[in-house]
Chain A
Amino acid sequence: MTQPADNETTTDIYRRQFLGKTAAAAGLALAPGMILTEVAHARPADSAASDKNRWGMLINTEKCGSGCTACVTACQTENGWGGEDNSEQHSNASQKAVWIRKVKLKDKQTGHVQSLPLMCQHCENPPCVDVCPTGASMKREDGVVLVDKHICIGCRYCMMACPYKARSFIHEQIQNQKVHAPRGKGTVESCTMCVHRIDEDGTPACVEACNADGHKAMYFGDLKDSNSEISKELAKNGGQQLRPDLALNTGVRYQGL
């Protein structure tokens, strides 16, 4: 088998073009007193995700609206699950894909009700990765836990291992997938933290929708950057893990539980 020979050269050209554009943009932005950190965030398309970042989310359950499902709808629209033409026809509701769901917590003694979105918690020590027999269940360098569907054999061990019930399995052929979110029969899937957006320096669809809706219950950012909004908020007001007893060090934290 022939390996791509001129890959490096051509990549170099792409990289050079990108760096050229970035430099030009930086030059324009560098008015006196401007801060350089914004520019430093963007990762060139040809450089790999690194462990210098760890992407995480913080959810304030007190701000989360009890009847609001903006985050779920946004995720469905963004990643193409749950719609009529890309959903399973023969599965019941508990079998269908769920990347993110709203959970209602009720304290039986006091009757206090809380509402929160629950999705893949992007653990530092993910049980789904531990049990995967093929290496399909994986954690990226920057802490995003994903399924490599190219090598997923659909055994569903990861679904059993996940304490958050965050993963689902596709039982039927589906059509009209989103280009950035391929999904198909016989593979497991879950929240990707909108990794295609992260790679383009964006924010996950659920967080964006929550902010746009005015709830502002969700933060997204780099847990390793002490200056990021999420880190500052965590340092100031703290954030709980779900099932901290499992010592998974989740990337998704909750306030107000």
Chain B
Amino acid sequence: MLSHKTIINTLVGVFLLLPVFAQANDLMPTVPKAKTNANPETLCVRDVSDMRKNHMEYIMHQRDKTMREGIRTKQDSLAECISCHVTKDDKGHFANFGDDKHFCSSCHNYTAVSVDCFDCHNDKPTAASKTGSTKK
């Protein structure tokens, strides 16, 4: 049986080779572009290859920090991933999770890795949280 790590490494290998295959094979996933580059050097909040390999770790770490300790930094926030990476189509609509045009789905559908983030979390960007105006 393949170890978790081997599978991940293989997947990462596949992703890194995507541009090579993409020209030859249209069946490869088309990952929608992010709205902006969060960091001009790394292009994402971290190095892109790091994000491809470890995004689940970062999100998981942040999830417990936010939920249990109330730490709401933006760098590894799922809502921030969504608001930057999930972009509108030609008609101005956001794709739903499950649709190949949704940022997360584009790869997760291809690799057949299911996630349950969006059973509870919104899969589309919405207006920012409204903070209470009255101070305590």
Contact = CB atoms under 8 A, between A and B. Distances in A.
A90 interface: no
A195 B129 CA distance: 12
Contacts of A43: 70
Interface in A182-223: 182-187, 194-205, 207-208, 211, 220-222
A47 interface: yes
Contacts of A98: none
Interface stretch (B17-25, B54-62, B104-112): B54-62
Majority SS of interface residues in chain B?
loop
How big is chain A's contact interface, by range?
35 or more
Contact of A49 (B70, B73, B76): B70
A199 B63 contact: no
A200 to B, nearest CB: 4
Contacts of B121: 177, 179, 182, 184
A30 to B, nearest CB: 18
B129 A222 contact: no
Contacts, number: 122
Name the residue in A3, A11, A180, A186 with the highest tally of chain B Cβ atoms < 10 Å from its Cβ: A180
Chain A binding surface SS class:
loop
A197 B132 contact: yes
Contact of B120 (A6, A141, A177): A177
A146 B132 contact: no
B35 interface: no
A179 B122 contact: yes
A182 B120 contact: yes
A3 B57 CA distance: 7
A75 to B, nearest CB: 12
Interface of A: 1-4, 6-7, 10-11, 14, 38, 41, 43, 45-49, 78, 138, 140-142, 146, 148-150, 173, 176-180, 182-187, 194-205, 207-208, 211, 220-222, 228-229
4 closest cross-chain pairs (CB), A and B? A202-B132, A184-B120, A48-B69, A49-B70
28 contacts: A2-B53, A4-B57, A7-B58, A7-B61, A10-B46, A41-B136, A43-B70, A46-B71, A48-B69, A48-B71, A49-B69, A141-B69, A146-B67, A148-B67, A149-B120, A173-B119, A177-B120, A178-B122, A179-B126, A182-B121, A184-B119, A185-B119, A194-B132, A195-B70, A196-B129, A197-B131, A203-B134, A208-B132
